[in-house]
Amino acid sequence: MTDVNFVTLLLACCYVAVLYFEKQQLISVILFYVLCSFLVLVRQTGLVLPLCFACAWLFTPNRRWQHLVAVIGGCMFVGLVLGYYEAFLKQRLPAEALYEYVTKSGRGGDNVWWERMKTGLFTRVPSILLQTLIYSAPFSLIFLPSLVKERPRTTVILLLLLSAGCVIVIFRGTSFPMGNIFTNMALGAETFYQEWRPGQTGYVAHTHSDLFEIMLTVVRYLFGTAGLFCFLLMAPRQFKRASPGFVFFALFVFGYIAVLLVTETYFDRYLLPLIVVAALVILRGTIEKETSLMVGAFFVILIFYVSVAGTHDYFRLNEQRWSAYRQLRDAGIAIEKINGGYEVNGWHEGKDFNWWDHMVLGNHDYLIQYSPEPGFLRYRTLPFRRWFPVKDDTLFIFKRDVSQLP
């Protein structure tokens, strides 16, 4: 995936942008747009950044015409780079490729982006806001004691009640953000056939539990309230300053959310840039304040445990998945006869394949997953140890029952 590369370049762009707003050197403008040209090559959503910088430049003092030319020229340069890149891809990618071209308004007609925008306002925005609040909360909570001291006690209590009320009302029907990174009690989506059975709705992850649903509800309201409460405490200071840097980050947040509303695919990993920028805004707005690591320690330790334990489980599971595949291949089983999930079937040992091959049983005689399917018998077991939750788990190889074939 391109998330790490995109976020790394985004951080570099933000650093150069802030450097320009503080020192107003022409070289910073040039460097910013050069970095943006690389950013849009990684992911088209980076196109938001140069436009945000151009708008924020209008709030800088001592605006010079040379810098204005550089800003306008930079925006045109980034647009040309992306346009040339997409023209290059159109000549080489097949028509059914999943790449979404910025130069088109989307698949299905000229109004498809507008229709997605209207739908996303109600289906995606609550999830976007909730996840950003949850994962930015640890950054803001370390400054909570000093933020509280600056406000009268009555104001603090009212803001806390307002935060809790807004989170309960706005996010009551919003499930905890899950999708591509965090799914129930695992890091990484489950991509076995059992998740994609034809006609199946409301798939429940293998490690799901009612207790965990309760825990998610508590985290949703607790982290959400904490994040919003800290934001409300910091907001007056941020809006009062209204510096070019603040305008730049604010425009990026709104612009990036707008882009997320019109994209055809939507995963929770797409919110990483938003969370990173939210953390930057929090740290810049509280840079002179005293910190209290103990207040944010609980949240940090919890996220640390989920991240480390979930990553451990992801690698342990896939270690067993590929071990199962190797066992079958060593036994002389053809790759066309094995359904090992998206990663295994998607690799297909470098040969041509249909990416949806793992979503059907078809001619597969061997199936790698947790639970059995009708017409398949247990063939081999591959136990492993989970950390999140802490328990013993088992992956199975199932073999088609030939006695039931007509």
Q: What is the 3-state secondary structure (H, E, C) of the chain?
A: CCHHHHHHHHHHHHHHHHHHHHHCCHHHHHHHHHHHHHHHHHCHHHHHHHHHHHHHHCCCCCCCHHHHHHHHHHHHHHHHHHHHHHHHHHHHCCCCCCCCCCCCCCCCCCCHHHHHHHHHHHHCHHHHHHHHHHHHHHHHHCCHHHHHHCCCHHHHHHHHHHHHHHHHHHHCCCCCCCCCCEECCEECCCCCHHHCCCCCCCCCCCCCCHHHHHHHHHHHHHHHHHHHHHHHHHHHHHHHHCCHHHHHHHHHHHHHHHHHHHCCCCCHHHHHHHHHHHHHHHHHHCCCCCCCHHHHHHHHHHHHHHHHHHHHHHHHHHHHHHHHHHHHHHCCCCHHHEECCHHHHHHHHHCCCCCCHHHCCCCCCEEEECCCCCCEEEEEEEEEEEECCEEEEEEEEEEECHHHCC
State the average pLDDT over residues 14-34.
95
Is the model's pLDDT at 6 over the cut of 70? yes
Q: What is the pLDDT of residue 105?
A: 45
Do the Cβ atoms of 150 and 288 come closer than 8 Å? no
Q: What is the pLDDT of residue 242?
A: 61
Is the model's pLDDT at 103 over the cut of 70? no
Do the Cβ atoms of 207 and 188 come closer than 8 Å? no
What backbone phi and psi angles, to 5 degrees, belong to 377?
-115, 150
State the average pLDDT over residues 70-90.
93
- The model's confidence at residue 76, banded by pLDDT at 50, 70 and 90, is very high
**What pTM was estimated for this model as a whole?**
0.83
Q: What is the pLDDT of residue 104?
A: 59
Name the residue with higher pLDDT: 286 or 391: 391
Residue 273's nearest CA partner among 66, 95, 47, 80 is: 47
Tokens of 50: 């140069």
Q: What is the pLDDT of residue 332?
A: 95
pLDDT, tens digit, for every residue of 184-232? 556 777 788 888 787 776 667 777 777 777 887 888 888 889 889 988 8
| Strand partners of residue 186 | 183
pLDDT, tens digit, for every residue of 293-309? 777 787 788 888 888 98
Which residue bears the tokens 């320009």?
Answer: 20
Do the Cβ atoms of 53 and 71 come closer than 8 Å? yes
What backbone phi and psi angles, to 5 degrees, belong to 372?
-75, 165
Is the model's pLDDT at 109 over the cut of 80? no
Is the model's pLDDT at 13 over the cut of 90? yes
What backbone phi and psi angles, to 5 degrees, belong to 331?
-85, 0
Name the residue with higher pLDDT: 84 or 181: 84
Distance CA 187, CA 189 (A): 7
Q: What is the pLDDT of residue 142?
A: 84
State the average pLDDT over residues 116-129.
83
Is the model's pLDDT at 80 over the cut of 50? yes
Is the model's pLDDT at 31 over the cut of 90? yes
State the average pLDDT over residues 90-110.
67
Distance CA 170, CA 217 (A): 14
Going by their DSSP bridges, the two strands 366-369 and 338-339 should be labelled as parallel
From 17-26, 59-68, 113-122, 250-259, the region with the lowest mean pLDDT: 113-122
Is the model's pLDDT at 239 over the cut of 80? no
Listed as own residue / partner, the contacts of 83-90 with beta carbons closer than 8 Å and 24 or more positions apart are: 85/40, 85/41
Tokens of 399: 């073999």
Q: What is the pLDDT of residue 140?
A: 82
Sheet holding 366-369, edge to edge: 338-339, 366-369, 390-400, 376-387
Tokens of 121: 């306002």
> Which amino acid would we find at residue 36?
C
Q: What is the pLDDT of residue 295?
A: 74
Name the residue with higher pLDDT: 348 or 4: 4
